[in-house]
């Protein structure tokens, strides 16, 4: 099926897009100018937390609502920029009194609680390094990452501490401080955060850092193997700020909702830093996905910009396009998606359900910020990731192992997606893994490990992860294309596609499918799906076999773990499953 390009008309009451013309914005952009849009500390130096909160207070915008927190139980807590500035200073002082110094790693292990945001900003203010973890990680994944990250301090809740940290706590002698959030009786060997904060007055100044000093430590999702610890520095804030303006079209008047878990890079770059540096009001919802709750939040909080992920969008699609029509979502101006390929079906569906498309964008833990995107004022090609941001040079390259990459100019020819290093949020290393870091660069390019194509208009199209691509009878098949075709069938809620060894073809395409409610996983449907895929894709690319599953294995950031589907199919060891969502 050919998908129609979505061109957009602006409603009269909408903000003028930050990027009105792609070509013009690219021609005019420079990172120097983007740097100048931020302030730096009054006495010199740079700090992400200063740009996120203190700067607004210094400019007289302290009373503006910065963060509205919605609890699972319907409670609401509001924080102005001045509140966040003061609370984060208190947290920084708590760290200083505990002798947690610059460069020391402070981990968080908790859900979306206000203290998480205060801890993140306060850690940065103290010049320490913030390293967030998924609260749903089991004890082993938590320990592995804290060990690799040389944790000195952990902020968590009493119950998470008891379940996931206490059993091994004393085997990590460097872990000196455990700060607990929540009003429970004192727990041995820990510090009650509220009590410690009450002793501080909020006047501690922000640490003046060098632009290239370490600020954030983010672990990759572990989709393709053992998670890597990506190092980010304070000047990343320049990219967080600029990419939020261009790719998410953030304006100070916006109410912005990023649904990402704080344990994942999106939860920091676009769940904390970018919205705050752009001076918006951000919504934080403590609860997990629930279609009705989500639509009610969009309506009641008058959300204008919404950033979510394909998994969530597919869950909304499963519920149907009628539900959102029962809510007044007229304030919603811009919707974006990241984390996994966004199937064209989902873009077209959102156009029907919301009257506007989801804007796919692409980036990685390593890039620290959005690199390729569809923009508010530019046409959207469903199924495409969009075009590189101003200041970002991207190309499709081919390279033999060890050889210098060659740029592929021919349109729609698959190769590895490569980026020219030099933007501020580029990672500066994998912690304790210099060799793996060096392997990511060749001939002046950063190699992303993803395969993609570029069309004649400069739009990029995701093909698959290099590790997931299937070689069948001389064809190179990207799982994304096959999964998207299956998703067009009304019965299919989710699909994961792998290659399995085949004597004749080298590899044969095999699909795993989860069905929407009300469909029977029987032989008749299997045949129908095989036929549908063959009609859509041709016999060479269509799956030879389809298995039904209740759920597909996913990472905690919502990515289908194809390597696990494959290992299970072939009876091979499962490898690192520390990020696997439970029950999958
Ligand atoms: P690991 O590197 O440990 O295997 P990961 O690559 O899943 O895990 P992340 O950095 O969280 O860890 O994810 C980045 C990857 O997610 C990208 O390299 C890409 O494969 C995928 N991705 C993100 N956004 C998109 C998108 N819009 N379209 C297609 N793929 C995407
Ligand atoms: Mg990766």
- In terms of domains, do 333 and 186 share one? yes
- pLDDT per position as a tens digit, 18-28: 999 999 999 99
Residue 388 lies in a domain: yes
- In terms of domains, do 353 and 477 share one? no
The pTM of the full predicted model, rounded to 2 decimals, is: 0.94
Which ligand ends up closest to the CA of 368? Answer: 1
Residue 1: the pLDDT is: 61
Residue nearest to atom 21 of ligand 1 (CA): 340
Looking at this predicted complex, what is its ipTM?
A: 0.99
- In terms of domains, do 40 and 125 share one? yes
Element at 452 (helix H, strand E) = strand 445-454
Ligand 2 centre to CA of 340 (Å) is: 11
Residue 218 lies in a domain: yes
Total domain count for the chain?
2
Ligand 1 — pocket residues by CB below 6 A?
Answer: 220-225, 227-228, 338-342, 360-362, 364-365, 385, 448, 450, 462, 465, 557, 559
Residue where a domain terminates, one of 419, 454, 489: 454
Which atom of ligand 1 is closest in space to residue 266's alpha carbon?
11
Which segments of the chain have a pLDDT < 50? none
Angle value at C-alpha 22, between 335 and 407, nearest 5 degrees: 105
For residue 542, the domain's CATH number is 3.30.300.30
Residue nearest to atom 1 of ligand 1 (CA): 222
Residue nearest to atom 23 of ligand 1 (CA): 339
Mutate to test the pocket of ligand 1, among 218, 310, 339 (most ligand atoms within 8 A of CB): 339
Which ligand ends up closest to the CA of 433? Answer: 1
Residue nearest to atom 2 of ligand 1 (CA): 220
- In terms of domains, do 201 and 319 share one? yes
Q: What is the largest CA-CA distance in the chain?
A: 72
- In terms of domains, do 293 and 237 share one? yes
- In terms of domains, do 189 and 264 share one? yes
**DSSP secondary structure letters along 414-457:** -EEEEE-S--TT----BTT-HHHHHHTEETTEEEEEEEEEE-TT
- In terms of domains, do 148 and 244 share one? yes
Residue 297 lies in a domain: yes
Residue 4 lies in a domain: no
Q: What CA–CA distances, in Å, run from 31 to 44, 243, 251, 474, 499? A: 19, 11, 20, 43, 42
501 three-state secondary structure: strand
Residue nearest to atom 11 of ligand 1 (CA): 221
Which ligand ends up closest to the CA of 460? Answer: 1
CA distance 458 to 411: 9
CA distance 260 to 282: 13
Which atom of ligand 1 is closest in space to residue 223's alpha carbon?
4
Mutate to test the pocket of ligand 1, among 335, 362, 563 (most ligand atoms within 8 A of CB): 362
Ligand 2 centre to CA of 423 (Å) is: 18
Ligand 1 centre to CA of 364 (Å) is: 5
Which atom of ligand 1 is closest in space to residue 222's alpha carbon?
3
Which atom of ligand 1 is closest in space to residue 385's alpha carbon?
27
Which atom of ligand 1 is closest in space to residue 219's alpha carbon?
3
CA distance 546 to 482: 12
- In terms of domains, do 435 and 499 share one? no
Within 269-405, residue ranges assigned H as helices are 274-277, 291-300, 310-319, 344-354
Asked whether the beta carbons of 360 and 374 are under 8 A apart, the reply is yes
- pLDDT per position as a tens digit, 135-151: 988 898 899 999 999 99
Mutate to test the pocket of ligand 1, among 450, 478, 553 (most ligand atoms within 8 A of CB): 450
Residue 132: the pLDDT is: 98
Residue 16 is given by DSSP the state P
Residue 223: the pLDDT is: 83
Rounded to 5 degrees, φ, ψ at 436 are: -65, -35
Which ligand ends up closest to the CA of 367? Answer: 1
Rounded to 5 degrees, φ, ψ at 50 are: -65, -45
Q: What CA–CA distances, in Å, run from 238 to 44, 133, 234, 278, 462? A: 16, 24, 9, 11, 27
Which atom of ligand 1 is closest in space to residue 365's alpha carbon?
10
- In terms of domains, do 345 and 412 share one? yes
Partners of 476 in the β-ladder? 471
- In terms of domains, do 438 and 493 share one? no
- Please state, as a whole number, how many other Cβ atoms lie within 10 Å of the Cβ of residue 501: 10
Ligand 2 centre to CA of 364 (Å) is: 6
Residue 11 lies in a domain: no
Nearest to 189 by CA among 204, 215, 206, 168: 168
CA distance 272 to 198: 24
Ligand 1 centre to CA of 339 (Å) is: 6
Contacting residues for 117 by C-beta, under 8 A, at least 6 apart: 67, 79, 84, 272, 284
CA distance 274 to 270: 5
Ligand 1 centre to CA of 63 (Å) is: 37
Mutate to test the pocket of ligand 1, among 144, 145, 221, 248 (most ligand atoms within 8 A of CB): 221
CA distance 33 to 363: 22
Which atom of ligand 1 is closest in space to residue 555's alpha carbon?
7
CA distance 175 to 388: 41
Residue 219 lies in a domain: yes
CA distance 88 to 282: 17
Residue 12 lies in a domain: no
Residue nearest to atom 27 of ligand 1 (CA): 362
Residue where a domain terminates, one of 391, 421, 454: 454
For residue 318, the domain's CATH number is 3.40.50.12780
Ligand 2 centre to CA of 224 (Å) is: 7
Asked whether the beta carbons of 237 and 38 are under 8 A apart, the reply is yes
Residue 204 CB-half CA count within 13 A: 25
Ligand 1 centre to CA of 390 (Å) is: 21
- In terms of domains, do 410 and 547 share one? no
Asked whether the beta carbons of 180 and 157 are under 8 A apart, the reply is yes
Which atom of ligand 1 is closest in space to residue 228's alpha carbon?
3
Residue 576 lies in a domain: no
CA distance 258 to 309: 9
Which atom of ligand 1 is closest in space to residue 265's alpha carbon?
11
Which ligand ends up closest to the CA of 419? Answer: 1
Residue nearest to atom 24 of ligand 1 (CA): 339
Q: Which domain holds residue 88?
A: 22-454
Which ligand ends up closest to the CA of 417? Answer: 1
Nearest to 25 by CA among 376, 477, 482: 376
């Amino acid at each position: 099926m050919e998908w129609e390009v979505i061109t957009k008309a602006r409603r009269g009451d909408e903000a003028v897009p930050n990027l009105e013309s792609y070509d013009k914005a690219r021609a005019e952009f420079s990172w120097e100018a983007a740097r100048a849009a931020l302030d730096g500390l009054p006495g010199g130096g740079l700090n992400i937390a200063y740009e996120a909160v203190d700067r607004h207070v210094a400019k007289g915008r302290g009373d503006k609502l910065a963060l509205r927190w919605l609890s699972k139980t319907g409670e609401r807590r509001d924080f102005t920029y001045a509140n966040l500035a003061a609370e984060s200073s208190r947290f920084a002082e708590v760290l200083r009194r505990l002798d947690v110094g610059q460069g020391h790693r402070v981990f968080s292990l908790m859900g979306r609680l206000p203290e998480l945001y205060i801890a993140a900003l306060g850690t940065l203010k103290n010049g320490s390094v913030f390293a967030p973890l998924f609260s749903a990680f089991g004890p082993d994944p938590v320990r592995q990452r804290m060990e690799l990250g040389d944790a000195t301090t952990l902020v968590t809740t009493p119950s998470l501490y008891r379940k996931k940290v206490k059993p091994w706590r004393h085997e990590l002698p460097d872990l000196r401080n455990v700060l607990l959030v929540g009003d429970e009786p004192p727990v041995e060997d820990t510090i009650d955060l509220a009590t410690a904060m009450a002793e501080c007055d909020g006047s501690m100044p922000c640490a003046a850092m060098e632009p290239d000093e370490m600020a954030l430590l983010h672990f990759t999702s572990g989709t393709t193997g053992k998670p890597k610890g990506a190092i980010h520095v304070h000047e990343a804030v320049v990219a967080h700020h600029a990419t939020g303006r261009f790719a998410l079209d953030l304006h100070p008047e916006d109410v912005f909702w990023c649904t990402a878990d704080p344990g994942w890079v999106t939860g920091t770059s676009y769940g904390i830093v970018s919205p705050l540096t752009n001076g918006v009001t951000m919504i934080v919802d403590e609860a997990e996905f629930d279609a009705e709750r989500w639509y009610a939040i969009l309506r009641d909080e008058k959300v204008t910009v919404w950033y979510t992920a394909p998994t969530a969008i597919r869950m909304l699609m499963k519920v149907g396009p009628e539900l959102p029509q029962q809510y007044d979502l007229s304030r919603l101006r811009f919707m974006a998606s990241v984390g996994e390929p966004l199937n064209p079906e989902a873009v077209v569906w959102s156009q029907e359900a919301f009257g506007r498309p989801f804007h796919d964008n692409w980036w990685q833990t390593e890039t620290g910020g959005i690199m390729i995107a569809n923009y508010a004022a530019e046409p959207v090609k469903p199924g495409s990731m969009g075009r590189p941001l101003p200041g970002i040079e991207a190309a499709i390259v081919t390279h033999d192992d060890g050889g210098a990459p060659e740029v592929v100019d021919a349109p729609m020819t698959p190769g590895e997606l490569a980026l020219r290093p030099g933007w501020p949020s580029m990672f500066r290393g994998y912690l304790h893994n210099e060799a793996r870091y060096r392997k990511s660069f060749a001939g002046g390019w950063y190699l992303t490990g993803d395969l993609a194509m570029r069309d004649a208009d400069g739009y990029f199209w995701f093909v698959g992860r290099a590790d997931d691509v299937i070689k069948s009878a001389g064809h190179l098949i990207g799982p994304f294309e096959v999964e998207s075709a299956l998703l067009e069938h009304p019965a299919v809620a989710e699909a994961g596609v792998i290659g399995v060894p085949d004597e004749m073809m080298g590899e044969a395409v095999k699909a795993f499918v989860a069905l929407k409610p009300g469909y029977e996983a029987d032989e008749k449907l299997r045949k129908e799906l095989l036929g549908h895929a063959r009609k859509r894709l041709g016999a060479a690319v269509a799956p030879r076999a389809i298995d039904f599953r209740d759920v597909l294995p996913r990472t905690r950031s919502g990515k289908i773990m194809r390597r696990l589907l494959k290992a299970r199919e072939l009876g091979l060891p499962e490898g690192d499953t520390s990020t696997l969502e439970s029950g999958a």
